[in-house]
Structure 1
């Protein structure tokens, strides 16, 4: 009897595990022409006899006796999948290589790019169904992942990471502000490197920062630099000159760009950080340009940055770097032999030195993996939110920027919200940029009586080149320092890097910097007194109010 009971139990377990097979990942519209690298992933355990995949028109089953133990990849073409992902699938639909076994087709299952479905049957029983665009919203290069019982809404593309949120306790933090003291922190950190420096930055044109890295290389430090291969306007002559100087010193300079071998993993590699000796991270809002890290006493951008000392946190960012610096979209950046030149800059009176604390709580914010943490930071505010951004744009004509919408919602529950935006000409010359955004926010605040105010930065009063910051302070306790712009692209499609730091000393430091910028801009509100654009601004305020209501309605429904 015991033997019979054991056999029955084993059969039940096998049935349960086999019945648990499901589709957990698929990509219907990859980058290769004709989509030979389209694929799906099954997850489960047991024998696959009786399981059939279909799209309602064609389908396939597995060879008798096939088993699944964990994950199993089925691609349309084995070699095409290997070219895109670096390894062969477990099965292929079209006979392309003897190294990959074939499924047994019944008709032709080809996943359509814009509208189709996948049906998983066990015998005649429908086990799982996923349809698009009903269940997922497809776009070229996007991989759809099942998280629990829901499909991940993030637009994660081929080659991208899927990092999970992580928090690190007891971190030593040195906060700094550009232009006041940014270069000193960078230079000292690089000078202290002993073994390895990994740099990932959107643009690198600063000769002094290049010389710091070259000196590190000359004393035996391994230095690798990863740059965006196609920044807006292309790699500048100054960027090519810096790349050439780094290369001649023996420093490896790489770029992320679409090649014949692979599509670029991210729309832009817009991060700005370096990892030193596997124990220190320097991260901020500024590119490695003279305006972001000027010599002491020279004018530059307003930006925020931090030096973080913690081996586990550094290991996190080192993993991000190594993931991003690998793959067919990474190629050497060809530099030039042009002379390095630092452009002239006006004098600047330094106001802020560094602030160093121990015992901070630090949470990395990496786009697109964990950029939703910014929304959580804003939504969790109880007393105050201070926002300093280069610019804020709405998602689409109908969808309000989610971070701004969350801040407005916070003001509706009594949180004091202040928004400071850049006033340089290219952020104010059009009909729908920072000056209009400031006016719209202020009129919405006046119409609803909200503790909400927006200002354009008075750059002349504070002797700043521009506001390039992407920072938030919440409740005098938590600060976001990052490279993430408030637009539709940066949080969802770029590689960005930031951190949320929870420490009252760091919050107090950046509050002082923010207050200095805010108070200098008190007469530059762009929307206080009526003017010739009054009707346009009022209409925009009405639209913003409507969009906010629609956004909140949608959030309540999800």
Structure 2
């Protein structure tokens, strides 16, 4: 068995089985086990990994003898089995298919693999994908109920059903105090088969960080980092098609550097014209390329690991996010963190998703040339060179959807902001009312922190017939908060504002997160929050430069008008004085 597979299996065991579930001390429980997780709509053909789990939330061991689970069409009957406090047990349709999906065998199954310790029990259930009921009984008496989809079953259940699960979604209990309604199953984070469960970590180190930005200094700085790599270059990106990167990557491969490229297999709108050939060249120079698939809607993260350096960005590796000519391209932030422990954290994310991805077959190199016909040139005036910062840094990785909502260090930073929060974001979905960032920013402004939100102004982000960035600006203005400001950028040479970053007092957050529900709840995303005053000032200067493109004309005009009025008033006063003296 490959080491990567072993790591993945161990990780999935940790996610799904979690030997003991932490039960909140302030919750009051009944006297029985509860339905804990239900997987009714699997990705797999045949759906043999469908499962139901129950948990013991009480303070004593429960014997499952006499318990059963039914969906009113079939029923399974548990044999004598001791379930300790805080422990869960699993029933699956097929023990082997369950193991393939989750990395360990269930306690019970209808179809049992001969090599497993899974117990075969009487009866079977086959849950409907979009509507059904799961009823836990003891000696025929209802103990707990889950109703989902448009099922109209209501015995032991009140109110509306739990929303029908999407493909691959695991319904998971949120409350161990049983209310017998959908609130028990409502959570800010949806759970899907195969998702990871990375947790927040804090890293403190004294060393170097390199700050840079698109379009000013991104291509030059990234290729310099590639040219210095000695052992590995692992790139995990949404899309990659800038053929100008190939020569540097080819030289790295000749030096013996291991190159791995992990990209989204089905980006919105499909791969760009040059992406298949870019990926084919990576394979041709000796690199390895894989394409991501389920369980995420999109693998939208943008980071790279070069030896012990971690690069995190808001940009893809295309012609606008990583422009060769820095007079053309998007505004986006980049950062390179030179710390072994930080890179080890992101490496775990990369390797986990790498082991779940499929191989890219590639195309014949002879079918196309390396050189692109042109290098896009724009009229932006580059101003911000990369800068190396030596000092003490505190770093918090942010991985979505694992902790993009709950336990997110970024949300904590917003809640603790005292002075200012400066935001550049490509798109903000105003219809996502549960947006924790927006709520945090409004609250920060009400506390007295100055909050500025700058959004992209491309045509598709300010269309009159849909709710988008210009409507977001009007919404912010309508709140009437003195410390809360929002504008769309006057691009003035930039292709678009593609950033997804913040400066919060003396920290900076750089990420791939767009402000919509999918990005926070269903995409693989990655970001980093890093504390260092001088570093934050670097990105703050860029922000005020960009904000100036939307506000400076108005401010400058007011200042000029004031000067003109003052000057004219002075001339009038002087002439009046001269005239009066003559009289």
Q: Secondary structure of 1:177's partner?
A: strand
Within-5 A mapping of 1:163-178:
163-170=198-205, 172-178=208-214
- 1:330 alignment partner in structure 2: 358
Asked if structure 1 preserves the Cα contact closer than 8 Å seen for 2:109 and 2:121, the reply is no
Q: Secondary structure of 2:192's partner?
A: coil
Q: Secondary structure of 1:431's partner?
A: coil
Distance 1:382 1:336 in 2: 57
Q: Secondary structure of 1:522's partner?
A: helix
- 1:54 alignment partner in structure 2: 69
Deviation at 1:165, TM superposition (A): 1.3
- 1:309 alignment partner in structure 2: 338
- 1:361 alignment partner in structure 2: 394
Distance 1:362 1:51 in 2: 52
Matched, 1:31 2:43: yes
Deviation at 1:85, TM superposition (A): 3.6
- 2:19 alignment partner in structure 1: none
- 2:8 alignment partner in structure 1: none
Deviation at 1:479, TM superposition (A): 1.6
Which deviates more, 403-412 or 158-167? 403-412
Q: Secondary structure of 2:383's partner?
A: coil
1:166-206, Cα deviation, whole Å (9 max, x unpaired): 11112642221111111232112222222122110011111
Asked if structure 2 preserves the Cα contact closer than 8 Å seen for 1:385 and 1:473, the reply is yes
Bigger radius of gyration: 2
1:173–1:54: structure 2 CA closer, same or farther, 3 Å change rule? same
1:416–1:221: structure 2 CA closer, same or farther, 3 Å change rule? same
Distance 1:438 1:43 in 2: 44
1:410–1:121: structure 2 CA closer, same or farther, 3 Å change rule? same
- 2:514 alignment partner in structure 1: 485
Deviation at 1:243, TM superposition (A): 1.0
Distance 1:498 1:390 in 2: 15
Gaps of 5+ in 1: 1-18, 258-263, 526-558
Deviation at 1:56, TM superposition (A): 6.1
- 2:109 alignment partner in structure 1: 92
1:222-241, Cα deviation, whole Å (9 max, x unpaired): 11100111111211220011
Deviation at 1:283, TM superposition (A): 0.8
Distance 2:173 2:396 in 1: 25
Within-5 A mapping of 1:373-522:
373=408, 374-395=410-431, 399=433, 401-434=435-468, 436-441=470-475, 443-445=477-479, 448-460=480-492, 463-474=493-504, 476-522=505-551
Distance 1:434 1:148 in 2: 35
1:40 aligned to 40, 46, 52, which one? 52
Q: Secondary structure of 1:325's partner?
A: helix
Distance 1:449 1:86 in 2: 51
1:410–1:131: structure 2 CA closer, same or farther, 3 Å change rule? farther
1:309–1:124: structure 2 CA closer, same or farther, 3 Å change rule? farther
Q: Secondary structure of 1:291's partner?
A: coil
Distance 2:265 2:381 in 1: 35
1:96-125, Cα deviation, whole Å (9 max, x unpaired): 64445444235x434444455545556678
Equivalent residue pairs, number: 490
Matched, 1:162 2:197: yes
- 1:74 alignment partner in structure 2: 91
1:227 aligned to 251, 263, 269, which one? 263
Which deviates more, 165-174 or 42-51? 42-51
Distance 1:503 1:135 in 2: 48
Q: Secondary structure of 2:398's partner?
A: strand
Distance 2:515 2:553 in 1: 21
Distance 1:126 1:359 in 2: 59
Distance 2:532 2:48 in 1: 51
1:376-426, Cα deviation, whole Å (9 max, x unpaired): 333333332211111111245xx3644223323332333322111112222
1:42-85, Cα deviation, whole Å (9 max, x unpaired): 56797855162414634323445688896643211234324434
1:77–1:68: structure 2 CA closer, same or farther, 3 Å change rule? farther
Distance 2:132 2:553 in 1: 53
1:144–1:434: structure 2 CA closer, same or farther, 3 Å change rule? closer
What is the root-mean-square deviation in Å for CA atoms of aligned residues?
A: 3.1
TM-score by length of 2: 0.76
Distance 2:391 2:437 in 1: 30
Distance 1:364 1:135 in 2: 36
1:334-372, Cα deviation, whole Å (9 max, x unpaired): 245322315321254331122324221111111101112
1:430–1:35: structure 2 CA closer, same or farther, 3 Å change rule? farther
1:51–1:376: structure 2 CA closer, same or farther, 3 Å change rule? farther
Which deviates more, 503-512 or 35-44? 35-44
1:124–1:442: structure 2 CA closer, same or farther, 3 Å change rule? closer
Distance 2:552 2:132 in 1: 56
Which deviates more, 464-473 or 406-415? 406-415
- 1:208 alignment partner in structure 2: 244
Matched, 1:197 2:233: yes
Deviation at 1:131, TM superposition (A): 5.0
Distance 1:64 1:442 in 2: 60
Matched, 1:293 2:322: yes
